[in-house]
Amino acid sequence: MLTRRAFAVGAGAVASATLLDPRFGHGELIRAAARFDAASQNNVVRLSVSSGRHEFYKGKPTRTYGYSAPILGPVLRLRRGDRVEMVVHNAIHFPTTVHWHGLLVPGDADGGPQQRINPGATWRPVLTVDQPAATLWYHPHPHHDTGRQTYLGLAGLIIVDDGDDRGLPRDYGVDDLPLIIQDREFDLDGSLGYDPGQLGVVYGVRGDTVIVNGAIRPTARVPAGWVRLRLLNAANARNFELRFQDRRTFYIIASDGGFLARPVPMSELRISAAERFEILVDFSNQQSVVLETGPDRVMGIFGTISDSDTYEYVPAMRFEVGSAATFGRLPSELVDPGAMDPSAAVRRRQFVLNNGVCGQRTWMSEHPDIPALVGINGQVHDPNRIDVETKLGTSEIWEIVSVGMPHPFHVHGAMFRVLTLDGKPPPEHLAGRKDVVLVEGKAELLVNFTRPATREHPFMYHCHILEHEDAGMMGQYTCA
C-alpha cells in the first residue's frame, strides 16, 4: 500500500547530506526541502514570507529571505482534485506576491503583481488543483522587486501528485530528490547582496558560485538504483548546462507541465531560468559522481561560471551511493501527450522581446533606478494596460522573437506546446507541456487557454530573466 511515508522522510534526509569540501560551505542538501503535504494539513498551507540568516559559508551568516524558513521554502505537495487554501503572511519589510508558477488557477489566485501582499498583511487564495502530475514552483512576483527577493532566497517547489506514480521512484528525500539550482556571487565575508548594476540589467544578474537547495556543493546519499531528480532552475538569469562528470546517460521523464511521452536519453541538459525537468539517473554501479555545470553557452563571454573566467565546467553537487537498491526499472512509456493541432488555433500573435544591447532601439524603463531598455513589441510593461485578450477554451499560436540575446519566455495561467524553434520541430525533451522556453531566435508556441483572468487580475507573460521582467519585459492578458 502506498503511504504517506513516501513523503514523510524529508526531515530525516537532512542528516544524510554531508560536506564535499569544508572550504565550499555546508552540505545541507535537503534542509530547504522540508515538505508540507497539504492533504495531511486539511489542505490549509501556511507560509510566512520572512527574513532570516543563512550560512552559505560556515561561520559567515548572511541576511536572506525564505518561506517559513531562513532560505527557500518547503516543498508543497498538492493532490489533483483537492482545493487547497494558502495562507500567506508577509513578514518582511517590502510588499511581495507569491506566484504559483505552472499551477493552472484563475488569474485572481495566480499571485501576479496585482496580488500585492503588503508588509504585515495576509493573502488567502484557494487553489483548485486540476492538472496532471508535475513539478512546479512558487516565487515572488512584485513590481520591480522580483529579482532581489528571489536572489535573496524566495523560491520553493510544488509537487502536483495525480495519484498515478507510474512505477517511478517516489520515496521523497531518498530516491525522489528535489534540486533547486541557482547561481550567486558572494562577498569575501560570505554575504549576499543584490546590486544588478547596468550589466546585470542588460544580461541578468549572474554569479560565479552554484548553489543547490541553498548549499554550496552539497552531497546527497542515494541508493544504488534508479533515482528521480526534480530539477528546477531558480536562477535569476543563467542557463545551466548540466552533465555528470563521468558523462553517464540519464533519462528525461518530465518537463514543466508533466511527463513526456517516454524517457528521453541524454548526457547533457540545458535548463533555462524557471524551467523544470525530472530525470532518472542509474546509480547501480555504486560509483560516486559529481553533477557539474558548464558555462552558459548562449551568453558567450558573459556566460562563464567559474571565478577564473574560463569556459570550464564546475561542480554543482556530488552523489554518494549506498548499497540498497530500491527501484530497478526504466519505464518504456510515460504518458500520451496527445496530438498537437496548430490548425485549431484561433489566431496568431507575435511578441518581440527587445533589450537595448546590440544597437537596438531604446526607450526609458519603467524601473525608477534603471535606465534600461527592455520591453515587448516596443513597449515596457504598464500595469494599467491590457496587452492581449484571449478566449477561454481556445488555442493561439504565439510567435516569440528574441532580440539582442536569448530570452526565456514564460506564460502564466496556461500550458503550451513548442511547435518550432528557429523553424525546426523542438527536440523530444522540449516537446511536452511547458510554461517557459528559451527563445534563441524565434519560437512558435501553441498556447492553450483553460483558466479565466479578468482585467483586474490578468495573467502575465514575460521574460524570466528577472532583471528583464523587473525592467518591463512583460505584458498581461485576459481570458474570458
Binding segment for Cu ion (CB under 5 A), chosen from 133-141, 145-153, 306-314, 467-475, is 467-475
Minimum CB distance to Cu ion smaller for 316 or for 465: 465
Cell 535569476 belongs to residue? 236
Stretch that binds Cu ion, among 87-95, 292-300, 432-440, 459-467 (CB under 5 A): 459-467
Contact residues for 385 (Cβ-Cβ < 8 A; gap 6+): 379, 476
Q: Quote the least distance from Cβ 353 to Cu ion, whole Å.
A: 6
C-alpha neighbours within 13 Å on the C-beta side of residue 219: 16
How far apart (Å, rounded) are the C-alpha atoms in residues 463 and 357?
Answer: 16
Q: Compute the least distance from the CB of residue 473 to Cu ion, in Å.
A: 5
| CB nearer Cu ion, residue 134 or residue 418 | 418
Contacts of 135 (CB under 8 A, 6+ apart): 157, 158, 159, 160, 178, 230, 232, 254, 276, 278
For the CB of residue 256, give the shortest distance to Cu ion in the complex, in Å. Answer: 18
CB of 147 to Cu ion, least distance (A): 12
Pair 460, 88: CB distance under 8 Å: no
To Cu ion, the closest distance from the beta carbon of 323 in angstroms equals 46
- List the grid coordinates of 52: 532570516
Does the footprint of Cu ion cover residue 465 (CB under 5 A)? yes
Q: How far is the CB of 381 from Cu ion (least distance, A)?
A: 12
- Of 473, 440, 463, whose CA–CA distance to 297 is shortest? 440
Of the candidate spans 9-17, 122-130, 310-318, 463-471, the one that interacts with Cu ion by CB under 5 A turns out to be 463-471
Query: CA 355, CA 358: separation in Å to the nearest integer?
Result: 9
- What is the nearest approach in angstroms of Cu ion to the Cβ of residue 201? 10
For the bound state, the minimum distance from the C-beta of residue 463 to Cu ion, rounded and expressed in Å, comes to: 3
Residue number with CB closer to Cu ion (125 or 200): 200
The candidate with the shortest Cα–Cα distance to 102, out of 111, 93, 90, 94, is: 111
Nearer to Cu ion, 443 or 463 (CB): 463
Any contact of residue 474 with Cu ion (CB under 5 A)? Answer: no
List, in order, residues 6 or more apart from 470 with CB less than 8 Å away. Answer: 143, 144, 145, 146, 147, 367, 370
Indicate if the alpha-carbon torsion angle 305, 307, 308, 314 is positive or negative. negative
Contacts of 312 (CB under 8 A, 6+ apart): 294, 295, 306
- Cβ proximity to Cu ion: between 72 and 353 the closer is 353
State yes or no: residue 31 binds Cu ion (CB under 5 A): no
Which of 463, 471, 474, 479: binder of Cu ion (CB under 5 A)?
Answer: 463
Q: For 309, what's the count of Cα atoms within 13 Å in the CB-facing half-sphere?
A: 2
* Of 99, 184, 429, 468, the one binding Cu ion by CB under 5 A: 468
Measured from the CB atom, the residue of 229 and 372 that comes closer to Cu ion is 372
Stretch that binds Cu ion, among 37-45, 77-85, 284-292, 455-463 (CB under 5 A): 455-463
Taking the least distance from each CB to Cu ion, the nearer of 81 and 197 is: 197
Whole-number Å distance between alpha carbons of 49 and 35: 16
Please tell me whether residue 201 adopts helix, strand or coil conformation.
Answer: helix
Please report how close the Cβ of residue 468 comes to Cu ion at its closest, in angstroms. Answer: 3
Question: Toward Cu ion, which CB reaches closer, 38 or 474?
Answer: 474
- In whole angstroms, how close is the CB of 465 to Cu ion at the nearest point? 4
CA–CA separation, 462 vs 386, rounded Å? 14
Instruction: For the beta carbon of residue 400, count every other beta carbon within 10 angstroms.
Output: 24
In the range 151-210, which residues lie near Cu ion by CB under 5 A? none
Question: Length of the chain, please?
Answer: 480
Specify the residue, 216 or 463, whose C-beta has the smaller distance to Cu ion: 463
For residue 87, the tally of other CB atoms under 10 A from its CB is 13
Q: Which of residues 401-430 bind Cu ion (CB under 5 A)?
A: 407
Integer Cα distance of 387 and 461 in angstroms: 10
Instruction: Name the one range near Cu ion by CB under 5 A: 21-29, 133-141, 321-329, 465-473.
Output: 465-473
Which residues, 6+ apart, have CB-to-CB distance to 308 below 8 Å?
A: none
Give the total of residues touching Cu ion (CB under 5 A): 4
Cβ distance to Cu ion smaller for residue 230 or 468: 468
Q: Which residue is nearest to Cu ion (CB)?
A: 463
Cβ-based nearer residue to Cu ion, 207 or 432? 207
What is the identity of the amino acid at 32? Answer: A
Q: Which residues bind to Cu ion, rule: CB under 5 A?
A: 407, 463, 465, 468
